[in-house]
A and B are shown apart, each in its own frame.
Chain A
Amino acid sequence: MTVLGVTIGKAEEHASEPAEACLSDWRRDCDAIVLELPGGDQLSARLRELGILPGTLIRVLRTGAHLVVQTGDTRLALRREDCDGVRVGAVPAVI
């Protein structure tokens, strides 16, 4: 599943839109599809209950120490480093 390995450096972020990245590195106001959530920890269990599952469309509304992520009409605030394991990818151009 992991295509680009672990390192999506910050330098690369500006170079071009990555096809896949960690949620905390995703650009603001860009839609993304959730690709991967970590296993059985409490945070990802809660995220799943709130509808953030692999395949869900999300948008990052705020970046920085805390992210605000939109899914459906829900906005969730979480710490940047807590979402390290969440991987997201670009929305396919044609739906």
Chain B
Amino acid sequence: MSDQPIRSDPAIALVGNPNTGKTTLFNALTGLSQRVGNYPGVTVQYQSGHMDLASGDAQIIDLPGTYSLSASSPDEAIAVDVLLGQQVGADPIDVVVVIADASNLRRHLYLLSQIIETGHRVVLALNMMDLARERGVHVDIDELSARLGIRVVPLTSHRGDGIDELIRAVEETLQEPRSEDAFSSPVPGSLVAAAHDLCQDETHPVNSHVEALRVLVDAGGHLEERLVERTNGDITQRLVALREKAATGRPLSAVESEARYAWVAQLVDGTLRGDEQLRPRRSDRIDRLLTHRVAGLAVFLAISAITFQGIFSWSAPLMDAIDGLFGDLGVVVGRYINEGPLQSLVVDGVIAGVGGVLVFLPQIAILFLIISLLEDCGYMARAAMMMDRLLRFCGLSGRSFIPMLSSFACAVPGILSARAISDRRDRYVTILVAPLMSCSARLPVYVLFIAAFIPDRPMLGSWLGLQGLTLLAMYGVGASVAIPVALLLRRTLLQGQSTPFLIELPSYKWPVPKVVLMRVYLNSREFVVRAGSIILAATIVMWALAYYPHSAEIATDFDGRRQAAETLPEATRTTTLEAIDLAEATAYLEASYLGRAGRFLEPVVEPLGWDWRLGMAALASFPARELIISTLGTIYSLGADANETSSDLRSALRASPGADGEPLDTPVALSVMVFFALCAQCTSTLAVIRREMGSWGWVVLSFGYMTALAYAGAFIVYQVTESLGWGAVG
């Protein structure tokens, strides 16, 4: 029985520093109910799920990890906005669970002090109690709880210890009334007074004392930017005056930090023992090796090599299985639908098109598995530190490493992870070059053309052939082109000083299987959904363009030829009829809208060594580069269910006449692959760029520069290899 009944679906926010086991806790609380949501109208994604309370269901929101409420990256800004009730579309938060690392408590109490000030009902979850005990750190939980006036729950989330107690504490806290106390903060009185003044301003520029404090302290932060925008700049003078009033001759951020750490020191005096000295970790020695400038780099390269090998070889059996499944499905479904546009749409368009894309699910899953493992065990931060040297040369920082690495799987999650980069220009450059990393959708293109045109010749002993080397070179093309592009962007459109680099090296730990698998599952699910929506839609459009107008004249003409063939002797009749079918399909295609456009396009692609078919397939792949496989299949009259391992498509490509009337050869294949390595053929990526960068201008730039580079690259490769006489090799 309580005065304030719990809302039917209370919202609980999970907040904490990065690397505190927040995700593990979130998974333990929500299980499979979690999903990625979008707040309307803005670029924000958040992770949410449901947990069971005795009183009913609760919504739990996992906010991005942040060290403080002074947000410096878009990711951190999301956490701040939700906590301050500034996030459009977010439910008001009923309870905030602050998760802190018990073995490193002082630092984590800093964020807690800021969150308590917001007036939210707070529960403190002290995670990693096992580690703290092991290190001889002792926390007096009851005394800490009494001093703070909130519930404090010890946890070891990866073992599930303390989860039930935490749920109970959340439930009890929900029953309590919100504190109506006046705003109190450890920061000096002059700063509190200035924040109060801003709150009391007759124009009501801010909603709360905490927001006022953040606007004043975090000069140039996102809250100030938004406030200035809202007031059309009228507030600027007022802010300058208030900051002067609050100032003690020192930067406000320094004043705030020192005051908060003084508060923390008081709080832990008598409640925390055993953390006075700097203790070595066992992993410090491993770190010395893994971050060594020579040995560390060698380990990094070895891990990368294993990753690529894993993506290519471990996924093969699964890919074949999925491929076979869709092939069979096409055959079976084809039997039940009468020949005509509907059958062609379902079999050649939907099943072959979407199936051709789903074939890459195993690769996506394996890449995310490896990335999640590396991230969860703590290695990624080390890799980012080592790559900082190279990335700094491009005007970026080690912060860009994870977005770039993820882009080798798919640029979409790569671009989304760039939100952790605090500097806007760094983030923009990262987003603009991330699509140059060879994503997994380019792989089938490489595999098809390498298998068809690059001789299988051993090099470097027996373990790396010419084919493997070509594949590696294709991955190198995008990555190495990204360097000058980033440099150029940093010196022209996105000029500015390079920002400092600071990254926490979390302690190494064994990856938590549940966390890793969950991430693989969520990313795979997203990929499948994408295949079922964007790719499906694009495939249907491409199919229609390649199918219609489907004139009756061609049908009549070929029916005549078929009748003539019926009179042939048994031995030759079947093959002749098959040849007529192929010729008919080709005739339809050439007469289709796509075919006509291809003829029109031919002069443009001729310098690249392509014929109209390749040109058309490349053009058809602009919505999603995976579409080239099914388009080429259709074009080479084999039906769209031909895929990259189909030896028929391979031999059809080999036999096909190129632009010069000669058969397609190695230079043409190299030119196609380089084109695909560099070209912006992915509507999802462009849509994400629009969302993350907020303007179509960047989309046009990104599309324009990549397409231009692709054309130039393909042209150079074709002309050079042709003049070297490589055509004769194939």
Is B a genuine binding partner of A? Answer: yes
A: residues with CB less than 8 A from B are: 31, 37, 39-51, 53, 57-59, 61-62, 64-66, 68, 70-79, 82
A57/B278 contact (C-beta < 8 A), A43-B502, A66-B388, A75-B505 known: yes
CB of B103 within 8 A of chain A? yes
- Complex alpha-carbon distance, A82 and B503, angstroms: 13
Q: Interface centre among A41, A44, A79, A82, by most B CB within 10 Å?
A: A79
- Complex alpha-carbon distance, A40 and B422, angstroms: 16
A62/B106 contact (C-beta < 8 A), A51-B261, A76-B505, A77-B385 known: no
Binds A, one of B39-47, B231-239, B286-294: B286-294
A46/B388 contact (C-beta < 8 A), A39-B251, A72-B275 known: no
- Complex alpha-carbon distance, A71 and B502, angstroms: 14
Residue in A61, A64, A79 whose beta carbon sits within 8 Å of that of B500 in the complex: A79
List the B side residues contacting A77 at CB < 8 Å.
291, 381-382, 385, 501-505
Q: How far is the CB of A74 from chain B (nearest CB, A)?
A: 6
* Cβ B502 vs Cβ A82 within 8 A: yes
A49/B389 contact (C-beta < 8 A), A59-B278, A82-B502 known: no
A62/B288 contact (C-beta < 8 A), A51-B106, A77-B381 known: yes
Residue in A42, A45, A79 whose beta carbon sits within 8 Å of that of B254 in the complex: A45
CB of B457 within 8 A of chain A? no
CB of B248 within 8 A of chain A? no
B532-580 contacts to A (CB < 8 Å): none
A82/B254 contact (C-beta < 8 A), A46-B72, A62-B291 known: no
Contact mask for chain B residues 382-394; partner A; CB cutoff 8 A; 1 contact, 0 none: 1001001100100
* Cβ A45 vs Cβ B278 within 8 A: no
* Cβ B70 vs Cβ A45 within 8 A: yes
Contact mask for chain B residues 251-265; partner A; CB cutoff 8 A; 1 contact, 0 none: 111100110010000
* Cβ A72 vs Cβ B107 within 8 A: yes
- Complex alpha-carbon distance, A77 and B505, angstroms: 7
* Cβ B288 vs Cβ A73 within 8 A: no
* Cβ B72 vs Cβ A42 within 8 A: yes
CB of B284 within 8 A of chain A? yes
Residue in B250, B293, B392, B502 whose beta carbon sits within 8 Å of that of A47 in the complex: B502
B398-422 contacts to A (CB < 8 Å): 422
* Cβ B381 vs Cβ A50 within 8 A: no
* Cβ A39 vs Cβ B254 within 8 A: yes
Across the two chains, which residue of chain A brings its CB closest to B110?
A49
- Complex alpha-carbon distance, A48 and B264, angstroms: 13
Q: Interface centre among A37, A39, A46, by most B CB within 10 Å?
A: A46
List the A side residues contacting B157 at CB < 8 Å.
none
Pairs of residues from A and B, 3 with the lowest C-beta to C-beta distance, nearest first: A40-B251, A48-B257, A73-B104
CB of B685 within 8 A of chain A? no
* Cβ A82 vs Cβ B501 within 8 A: yes
* Cβ B104 vs Cβ A72 within 8 A: yes
B160-207 contacts to A (CB < 8 Å): none
CB of B312 within 8 A of chain A? no
Q: How far is the CB of A95 from chain B (nearest CB, A)?
A: 9
Q: How far is the CB of B717 from chain A (nearest CB, A)?
A: 36
- Complex alpha-carbon distance, A62 and B284, angstroms: 10
**29 CB-based A-B contacts, threshold 8 Å:** A39-B254, A40-B251, A40-B253, A42-B499, A43-B502, A45-B251, A45-B254, A45-B257, A46-B502, A48-B253, A48-B254, A48-B258, A49-B110, A50-B504, A61-B284, A66-B291, A68-B505, A72-B275, A72-B278, A73-B104, A75-B506, A76-B504, A77-B381, A77-B385, A77-B503, A77-B504, A78-B502, A78-B503, A82-B501
Across the two chains, which residue of chain A brings its CB closest to B384?
A77
Q: Interface centre among B293, B502, B503, by most A CB within 10 Å?
A: B502
* Cβ A53 vs Cβ B500 within 8 A: no
Q: How far is the CB of B445 from chain A (nearest CB, A)?
A: 38
- Complex alpha-carbon distance, A65 and B253, angstroms: 28
- Complex alpha-carbon distance, A12 and B431, angstroms: 45
CB of B273 within 8 A of chain A? no
CB of B363 within 8 A of chain A? no
* Cβ A49 vs Cβ B257 within 8 A: yes
* Cβ B504 vs Cβ A73 within 8 A: no
- Complex alpha-carbon distance, A6 and B385, angstroms: 28
- Complex alpha-carbon distance, A43 and B497, angstroms: 13
* Cβ B261 vs Cβ A53 within 8 A: yes
- Complex alpha-carbon distance, A65 and B386, angstroms: 10
CB of B282 within 8 A of chain A? no
List the A side residues contacting B103 at CB < 8 Å.
73
- Complex alpha-carbon distance, A40 and B70, angstroms: 13
Q: How far is the CB of A10 from chain B (nearest CB, A)?
A: 19
- Complex alpha-carbon distance, A75 and B389, angstroms: 19
Q: Interface centre among B68, B293, B505, by most A CB within 10 Å?
A: B505
A49/B67 contact (C-beta < 8 A), A40-B253, A62-B291, A65-B389 known: yes
- Complex alpha-carbon distance, A16 and B327, angstroms: 76
List the A side residues contacting B501 at CB < 8 Å.
77-79, 82
CB of B335 within 8 A of chain A? no
* Cβ B110 vs Cβ A82 within 8 A: no
List the B side residues contacting A78 at CB < 8 Å.
500-503
CB of B279 within 8 A of chain A? yes
- Complex alpha-carbon distance, A48 and B262, angstroms: 12
Q: Interface centre among B107, B252, B258, by most A CB within 10 Å?
A: B107
Across the two chains, which residue of chain A brings its CB closest to B105?
A72
- Complex alpha-carbon distance, A43 and B257, angstroms: 13
Residue in A40, A49, A73, A75 whose beta carbon sits within 8 Å of that of B275 in the complex: A73
List the B side residues contacting A68 at CB < 8 Å.
287, 291, 505
List the B side residues contacting A40 at CB < 8 Å.
219, 251-254
Across the two chains, which residue of chain B brings its CB closest to A72?
B104
- Complex alpha-carbon distance, A62 and B287, angstroms: 9
- Complex alpha-carbon distance, A5 and B207, angstroms: 47
